[in-house]
Amino acid sequence: MKRFSPTDLMRFFISPYESWATRYSSEVDSTIFIKDPENEFLSMAKRKGDDHEYKILKRYQDEKLSIKIIPDSGPREERLDATKQAMLDGLDIIYQGSLENELFFGKTDFLVKTHGDSNLGNYSYEILDAKLARRAKAEHIIQLSCYRELLENIQGKVSDSASLIYGDGELERFNLDNYDSFYKALREKFFNFHASFNPDNIPDPASYDEWGIYSEYAKNIIQKTNNLSIIAGIRKSQIKKLKEANINSCEELINSEISKETKINPKVLDRLKLQAKHQLKSKKNSKLSFEVLPHSDRGLGLKGLPEKSLNDVYFDLESNTFTVPMTLHYLWGFAYEKNSHKKFDCLWAHTQEDMKEVFESFVDMLMDKFSEDPKMHVFHYGAFEVTTLKTLAGYFSSKSDEIDHLLRNNVFIDLFKLVKQSFCIGSTGYGLKDIEPIFRNERTEEVTGGTESMIQYELWSANNDESKDETDSELLKKHLGI
């Protein structure tokens, strides 16, 4: 009998579309649904996840606990038997234990011995899962609940609790009874989904927000059909109202004359039509189409731009979300004018200590410029840079008064808001990388965005003796005997 995995259940929760396509590819035709190309970011995340597990395992070894490492390869029955025997022997920690029942088979990160009677004796086991995340997500609770179900099959006892240990080393325990109703409802929905699987009823990717490993394939289909969902900024509720008015594509929206039937504010509907028009025009001409929007209100659109100051700063951050205990903002780039010449400068931070120093130096620079000219501004694109400055002020307990002073004097100008108010651009989004073909040639360098920058920084860090992680996965695996 085919057994599903806890990962299958998580996949279904996150993306039913991916679940359907995966089963279709496995049982019907593997050539229809095309998987996304190999993703260096996901590969790096997996390596980081492995490192995180090895750190935890090493810590248990350093504590002189009795540990059984279940081989990652070999026949499934052998792995199941080895896990059961380790539990019967009462070992403190079981790493990569294999569990199953009549419906699921799964491989846990850690089984941790705890007090409490069970079929094993005067002790039992709980699940501990390692996650790089800094907080729990719903799918993590689903995974823990499924593992708990499998664990009950051996020890004859339902564990009340299970734990996650995050990338920063923090451990959080969960009373899974609090989530049991949700888990059972999802479990039932999952099995009903598979019981009613019909390969002839191919799902419409536009009906979903997540497509998992088939994202590029799904997005291509949506783009080809000019589905309403490709319109930048459109909401689900607006798509629903348009479909109720029998408007199902960008072309139908552009050519529609109705407004009352859609129950959408006429101004909002006009903006959606204009957005759809420019996106189709951009698609047809292979060049971004745009127009400047009229604004009579002071402070909106281009009228919201302040007067130029020679002390103005244009600020951008690059960050590495893999680092712990908090994100490392490793590259602080800023442009400015000096002696009538345009300048670009940057500050690098390779450690938390570096980041504190760079943060303080950058804020001091802004304060100096503000003292020279209170009419200066700091331009950024999106909320990330300002949010980061406020977060670091709290984290380091430093420069809070200065950040507050700059905020109260409206020094920071979010160009993302101004662009959305000022232009209608025929791109699928208004991120800086989406709209930059308007003002620069196509990028040819290897690093084309924030994710690529983070990957390259990680690769550089891994090969730099000064910043190399002492818990490099290969060294740890050798030390741990994995």
287 plus 328 within the same structural domain: no
For 160-265, strand residue ranges (E) read 161-165, 171-175
**pLDDT beyond 60 at 446:** no
For residue 371, the enclosing domain spans 301-419
Single out the residue of 352, 479, 401 nearest to residue 57, CA to CA.
Answer: 479
* Residue 337: strand pairing partners: 342
255 plus 378 within the same structural domain: no
The residue count for the chain = 482
The pLDDT of residue 475: 42
Give a yes or no: residue 160 inside a domain.
yes
pLDDT band, residue 260 (cuts 50/70/90)? low
**pLDDT beyond 80 at 343:** yes
**pLDDT beyond 70 at 448:** no
pLDDT digits (tens, 9 = 90+) for 385-395: 999 999 999 99
Sequence-ordered list of residues with C-beta below 8 angstroms from that of 440, at least 6 positions apart, any chain: none
Give the H or E element holding residue 474.
Answer: helix 473-480
The pLDDT of residue 38: 84
Indicate the pairing of strand 378-380 with strand 161-165.
unpaired
The pLDDT of residue 469: 42
Tell me which of 249, 264, 292 is where a domain ends: 292
Tokens in use for 354? Answer: 């570096």
110 plus 17 within the same structural domain: yes
321 plus 341 within the same structural domain: yes
pLDDT digits (tens, 9 = 90+) for 151-187: 999 999 999 999 999 988 899 999 999 999 999 999 9
412 plus 388 within the same structural domain: yes
Give a yes or no: residue 66 inside a domain.
yes
Tell me which of 400, 419, 438 is where a domain ends: 419
The pLDDT of residue 447: 59
The pLDDT of residue 1: 58
Give a yes or no: residue 439 inside a domain.
no
pLDDT digits (tens, 9 = 90+) for 56-113: 999 999 999 999 999 988 899 999 999 999 999 999 999 999 999 999 999 999 999 9
Instruction: Provide mean pLDDT across the span 434-456.
Output: 75
Q: Give 288-295 contacts, CB < 8 A, sequence gap 24+.
A: 288/425, 288/426, 288/427, 288/435, 288/437, 288/438, 289/425, 289/426, 290/423, 290/424, 290/425, 290/426, 290/438, 291/423, 291/424, 292/422, 292/423, 293/421, 293/422, 293/423, 293/424, 295/421, 295/422
**pLDDT beyond 60 at 465:** no
Single out the residue of 267, 229, 264 nearest to residue 248, CA to CA.
Answer: 229
**pLDDT beyond 60 at 215:** yes
407 plus 305 within the same structural domain: yes
- CB of 276 closer than 8 Å to CB of 427: no
The pLDDT of residue 195: 94
Round the average pLDDT of the chain to a whole number and report it. Answer: 90
16 plus 146 within the same structural domain: yes
Give a yes or no: residue 27 inside a domain.
yes
The pLDDT of residue 226: 94
Instruction: Kindly tell me the burial class for residue 164, based on how many C-beta atoms sit within 10 Å of its own C-beta (0-12, 13-18, 19 or more).
Output: buried
pLDDT band, residue 480 (cuts 50/70/90)? very low
pLDDT band, residue 467 (cuts 50/70/90)? very low
**pLDDT beyond 90 at 321:** no
Instruction: Kindly provide the b/e burial profile for residues 206-230, where b requires at least 16 CB atoms within 10 angstroms of the residue's own CB.
Output: bebeebbbbbebbbeebeebbbbbb
d(CA 459, CA 194): 41
The mean-pLDDT minimum among 52-56, 207-211, 233-237, 453-457 falls in 453-457
183 plus 252 within the same structural domain: no
Cis peptide before 437 (omega within 30 of 0): no
The pLDDT of residue 296: 65
d(CA 232, CA 466): 44
260 plus 324 within the same structural domain: no
Give a yes or no: residue 37 inside a domain.
yes
Instruction: Provide mean pLDDT across the span 265-293.
Output: 94
Instruction: Provide mean pLDDT across the span 191-202.
Output: 94
46 plus 140 within the same structural domain: yes
**Tally of domains in the chain:** 3
Instruction: Provide mean pLDDT across the span 7-30.
Output: 95
d(CA 134, CA 189): 29
Instruction: Provide mean pLDDT across the span 320-326.
Output: 82
Amino acid type, 9: L
Percent of the chain with pLDDT over 90: 76
**pLDDT beyond 90 at 466:** no
Choose between 478 and 406: higher pLDDT: 406
d(CA 384, CA 115): 46
